[in-house]
């Protein structure tokens, strides 16, 4: 991977001192990352709502999944990935992974002087806008649920909401297997969500970027009175709003998406398509610099 | 982690040149490793059949699962783990992970001058002894099945056997969730194994160390005419045979088991118990040296 001295120096400065480098420019790309294919649902929503933007996606497929790992480990991974983007001169970073957002977003915001958007705030905000009875459910990986990130975000704005959470570890492998509407998917949804259904929630945050693939099975089980909040969609909306506010929108041309992975691309290519909605066959393997 | 210069030098020599260091001694420990908790089924079988041996287990929980990763990545991980054991002066290494055995066993055997036992050969041998009609099924992770390791091993001894394979990616998360006998487990078993059931096999190799936890659900679905081969049990048998043949059995005292992990120990402790059969609460976190 060729790297100019200037880029390395700028990265070092940004990372080490938090000094502000050149102001981000509208013609730069947006870096989007996740532990694997899940964040492609966010990328998909972004490329539909911001068709002029150039998007760089990195899936840390050599170390997927982040869900069962510790905060310390995940924070280290997040810094390595953000450094990768900063070396490439992005104007913003999207942490398209609930686990990483929950555990590392604050640190990334302190460390890098460009906008860093996570998936928790947009989802929480949309849930607060949607709920009528103040009872909100949150489902996600073990790490996301254990972090309490959604509860913290929801309570910061609306201290009185009642929050019901449930970790659903099998939803990620189900989505990756493409089993999103079969018997196993329905039984798994029922097994995880039966208590949430009884809790009287009227809003359910899909707090994992894999879960939009299971939205139909989840919606069928929860019934029409429960509004599902898709954090991928909400995050794309937030990025668009933020670029507009900071006058960083790319105004002309047709946007592109390029894909990087940390392990061989075969599986990413095969599984990723159902998350992105079109082919991700051009994925390139990279080795991240250890933090 | 304290490390003597002598140990480092011996490791370097062994790793770099393949020279034979001091002959392994009967009073030394046995190193057992896996990507996570799965190999604890092998450790469990070993501690029952060899109660005098001291066992060191390493679960590479920061990088689990290996199943969807590439051969190159997994081989690198295997070398780092084997180096960790060799630094501690083990008399043998057990690769208690089908994926790593399939992809890295030959290389480990070339690289280290102590016995290295994998889980594929013992399982394949037991299946050949069990089959009457020469039709053998193999189930495992995507990587294990794609590697063709069991087929190669089976055909090397009995070129005429018919082999039927199926990757079952959801079995690992199911076992870790403790869902081994519920509706979801039964439906998942049926979804993965329906073709194998029709194939007329009389022997089925559980080619993943997680799968013994699902043995009842698998056995119930396949019926009494299909013999299940548990590679964890067969591997313990092979290690015992090998230590006896090389006069490396520990003859006195009561054996122990110590546990190391590469991420925080909480989840290993919580999930591991059902794989090991008793508590693994003393697990210590280590950082592996990069190869």
At residue B81, the pLDDT reads 97
Q: Hunting for tokens 């982040």 — which residue is that?
A: A66
Distance in Å, alpha carbon of B27 to nearest chain A alpha carbon: 35
For residues A239 and A114, the answer to whether their CB atoms sit within 8 Å is no
Q: How far is B133 from chain A (nearest CA, A)?
A: 32
Distance, CA of A208 to CA of A108 (rounded, Å): 19
Nearest to B263 among A73, A174, A264 (CB): A73
One pLDDT digit (tens) per residue for chain A, 291 residues = 344 444 444 444 444 444 445 689 999 999 999 999 999 999 999 999 999 999 999 999 988 878 778 888 899 999 999 999 999 999 999 999 988 998 899 999 999 999 999 999 999 999 999 999 999 999 998 888 988 999 999 999 999 999 999 999 999 999 999 999 999 999 999 999 999 999 999 999 999 999 999 999 999 999 999 999 999 999 999 999 999 999 999 999 999 999 999 988 888 999 999 999 888 888 999 988 875
- Predicted confidence (pLDDT) at residue B257 exceeds the cutoff of 90: yes
CA dist list (Å): B210 to A61, A141, B67, B265: 22, 20, 12, 19
Contact: A68, B267; criterion CB under 8 Å = yes
User: Quick one: which of A131, A147, A133 has its CA closest to A99?
Assistant: A147
Direct distance between the N- and C-terminal alpha carbons of chain A, in angstroms, rounded to an integer: 17
**Distance, CA of A39 to CA of A119 (rounded, Å):** 10
Tokens standing for residue B218 = 């698998």
Tell me the mean pLDDT in the region B131-156: 94
Distance CA B26, CA B104 (A): 26
Question: Tokens 């059969």 map to which residue?
Answer: B277
Say how far apart CA B63 and CA A177 lie, in whole Å: 20
Residue A276 tokens, joined: 């992105």
Q: Is this prediction's pTM over 0.95? A: no
Whose tokens are 């591991």? That residue is B272
State the average pLDDT for chain B.
90
Q: What is the pLDDT of residue A27?
A: 95
Contact A263 B176 (CB under 8 A): no
Question: Which position has the higher pLDDT, A68 or B162?
Answer: B162
Separation CA A236–CA A219 (nearest Å): 21
Q: What is the pLDDT of residue A16?
A: 43
Which member of B69, B172, B176 has the closest CB to residue A62?
B69
Q: Nearest residue on chain B to A191, judged by CA atoms?
A: B184
* A191: Cα within 13 Å, side-chain hemisphere: 21
Count other C-beta atoms under 10 Å from residue B48's C-beta: 11
d(Cα A219, Cα A198) in Å, to the nearest integer? 15
> What does chain A come to in residues?
291
Where are the strands (E) in B68-220, listed by range?
92-95, 116-117, 135-140, 162-167, 203-206
Per the CB < 8 A criterion, the answer to whether B32 and B43 are in contact is yes
Interface test with B, best of A72, A168, A177 (most B CBs within 10 A): A177
CA A64 to CA A35: how far, in whole Å?
Answer: 5
Strand-pair partners of B139: B166, B206
Tell me what pLDDT residue B22 has: 64
Does the distance separating the beta carbons of A191 and B187 come in below 8 Å? no
pLDDT band of B14, cuts 50, 70, 90 = very low
Report d(CA B19, CA B111) in Å as an integer: 9
- The confidence score (pLDDT) of residue B85 equals 97
- Between chains, do B170 and A184 touch, taking CB under 8 Å as contact? yes
Question: Residue B12: pLDDT above 50?
Answer: no
Within A139-250, where are the H helices?
A: 142-147, 149-157, 171-177, 183-198, 215-222, 231-245
- Cβ contacts from A onto B, under 8 A: 73
Give chain A's domains with CATH numbers: 28-118+234-285 (3.40.50.1860), 121-231 (3.40.50.1860)
Residue B129's pLDDT band (boundaries 50, 70, 90)?
very high
Q: What is the ipTM of this complex?
A: 0.79
Helix, strand or coil, per DSSP, at residue A144: helix
Give the mean model confidence (pLDDT) for residues B166-174: 95
**Other CB atoms within 10 A of residue A215 CB:** 15
- Distance separating alpha carbons of residues A83 and B207, to the nearest angstrom: 39
| Residue burial A251-286, b: 16+ Cβ < 10 Å; e: rest | eeeeeebebbbbbbbebbbebbeebbeeebeebeee
Per residue in B58-71, pLDDT (tens digit) is 999 988 878 778 88
The span from the CA of A113 to the CA of A233, in Å, is 25
Q: Is the pLDDT of residue B42 over 80?
A: yes
Q: Let me know: does B78 contact B109? Beta carbons within 8 Å.
A: no
Q: What is the pLDDT of residue A245?
A: 96
- Packing angle, helices B71-87 and B5-17, rounded to 10: 140
- Of the candidates B112, B81, B84, the one whose C-alpha atom is nearest the C-alpha of residue B95 is B81
Place of tokens 């459910």: A137
- Distance CA(A185)–CA(B132), nearest Å, equals 37
The pLDDT assigned to A22 comes to 64
What are the φ/ψ torsions at residue A91 (nearest 5 degrees)?
Answer: -95, -15
- Is residue B232 over pLDDT 90? yes
B73: chain A residues, CB-CB within 8 Å? 62, 263-264
Q: Which tokens is B4 given?
A: 């003597």
- Axis-axis angle for helices B98-111, B149-157 (nearest 10): 70
Question: In chain B, which residues have their Cβ closer than 8 Å to the Cβ of A183?
Answer: 187, 191
Q: According to the model, what pLDDT value does residue B31 have?
A: 98
The partner residue sitting opposite B263, judged by closest CB among A69, A183, A188, is A69
Q: Which two tokens stand for residue B104?
A: 């890295």
Q: Taking an 8 Å Cβ-Cβ cutoff, which residues of chain B contact chain A?
A: 61-65, 68-70, 72-73, 142, 169-170, 172-174, 176-177, 179, 182-184, 187-188, 191, 263-264, 266-267, 290
């Amino acid at each position: 991977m060729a790297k100019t001295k200037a880029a390395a120096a700028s990265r070092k400065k940004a990372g080490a001192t938090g000094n502000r480098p050149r102001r981000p420019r509208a013609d730069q790309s947006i870096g989007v990352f996740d532990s694997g294919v899940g964040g492609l649902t966010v990328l998909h929503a972004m490329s539909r709502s911001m068709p002029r933007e150039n998007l760089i996606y990195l899936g840390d497929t050599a170390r997927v999944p982040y869900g069962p790992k510790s905060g310390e480990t995940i924070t280290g991974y997040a810094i390595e990935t953000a450094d990768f983007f900063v070396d490439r001169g992005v104007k913003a970073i999207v942490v398209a992974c609930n686990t990483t957002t929950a555990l590392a977003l604050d640190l990334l915001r302190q460390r890098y002087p460009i906008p860093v958007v996570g998936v928790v705030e947009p989802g929480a905000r949309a849930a607060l806008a949607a709920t009528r009875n103040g009872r909100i459910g949150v489902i996600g990986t073990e790490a996301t649920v254990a972090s309490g990130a959604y509860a913290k975000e929801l309570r910061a704005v609306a201290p009185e909401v009642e929050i019901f959470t449930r970790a659903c570890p099998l939803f990620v492998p189900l989505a990756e297997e493409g089993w999103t509407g079969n018997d196993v998917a329905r039984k798994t949804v029922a097994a995880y969500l039966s208590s949430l259904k009884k809790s009287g929630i009227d809003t359910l945050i899909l707090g994992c970027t894999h879960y939009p693939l299971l939205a139909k099975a989840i919606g069928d089980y929860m019934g029409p009175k429960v509004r599902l909040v898709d954090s991928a969609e909400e995050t794309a909306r937030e990025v668009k709003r933020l670029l507009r506010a900071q006058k960083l929108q790319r105004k002309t041309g047709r946007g592109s998406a390029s894909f990087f992975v940390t392990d061989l691309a075969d599986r990413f290519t095969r599984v990723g398509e159902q998350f992105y909605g079109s082919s991700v066959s051009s994925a390139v393997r990279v080795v991240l610099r250890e933090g």
